[in-house]
Structure 1
C-alpha cells in the first residue's frame, strides 16, 4: 500500500468531479477517510435542499479513494459494481462531513461504508455502501 496524504487526494480531484464539488480531505488512513464539503447553491436541488446526487458523489469519492489506497500489489485499478444509499436528512447551508471505512478488503472485491453528516447539527444525512471489483492485468 502506498502512503497517501489528504493533500495527495485533494490533488487527484482537481479538474474532476471531486474538485468541482469541493471535497476537501482532512484525514486519510487505510482504515478511515474523512472529508468536508461546503454546501453551495450549485450543489442544491431546485427545491433548495442538498441534491441526492451530491451526497452520493461525496460518499462514492471517499469510498473510491479508499479503494485506491488499499489496492493489492499488482492490481491495475478497480471499478464500482454496486452502490446503495439511504437518505435520512439534508442540509441547505454550512458543510457536510463524510467518513468512509472498509468493510472488506479482498483480492477481488472491496466493500466500503460511508456516512455523510450535517456539520452544524451532527445529524446523519445518508448512509452509503459500495462494492468495488479489483482489476488485474490480463494473463
Structure 2
C-alpha cells in the first residue's frame, strides 16, 4: 500500500513518525480530490510503523484495533504531510494521533488509531 500510494517516510524520532504522500491519480477520488481512504491509509501506515518501533518485534506484534478520521479540508494536487505521534504507549495498547496537512500547513485530516500489542506465537 505504501509503495502504491507513493508514501514516503521523512522523519522518525522518539514517539513520532513523519511522512508525505502525493495527491495525484493514485490518491484521487472520482471528483479529483484527495480520497479519504488514502488519508486513512497514510495515517495507519505511519501509526503502525511508529507502534512497531516501540516494541521488540522478535517477541511482540502490533495489531490495529481501531482507526477513525475526520476529514477537514479537500486537496486537489501537490503533497500532503503527516505526523503520527504516540499519545499512549502501554504494555498492551498504544494510541497514535496523526495530523495530515497541506504543503502550507492547513489541516486536512486528523486521525486516531488504537494498536494492540500482542505476544508472537512460538
TM-score by length of 2: 0.93
Query: Which residue among 12, 31, 34 is the counterpart of 2:15?
Result: 31
Partner of 2:35: 51
Residue 81, structure 1, aligned to residue 90, structure 2: no
User: Matches of 1:137 and 1:113 in 2, distance apart?
Assistant: 25
- The gaps in structure 1 that reach 5 residues or longer are 1-16
Partner of 2:50: 66
Structure with bigger helix share is: 1
User: Matches of 1:90 and 1:30 in 2, distance apart?
Assistant: 30
Residue 101, structure 1, aligned to residue 85, structure 2: yes
Query: Which residue among 24, 42, 49 is the counterpart of 1:40?
Result: 24
Deviation per residue, 1:47-84 (Å, 9 max, x gap): 11100000000011000000010115763211111111
Q: How many residues align?
A: 122
Structure with bigger strand share is: 2
- The gaps in structure 2 that reach 5 residues or longer are none
Partner of 2:110: 127
Give the secondary structure class of the aligned counterpart of 2:33: coil
TM-score by length of 1: 0.82
The verdict on how the C-alpha distance between 1:136 and 1:91 changes in structure 2, with shifts beyond 3 A counting, is same
Larger RCO: 1 or 2 (CA < 8 Å, sep 6+):
2
Q: Is the 8 A contact 1:101 1:114 kept in 2?
A: yes
Q: Which runs of 4+ in 1 moved over 3 A?
A: 72-75
User: Matches of 1:73 and 1:48 in 2, distance apart?
Assistant: 39
RMSD: 1.5
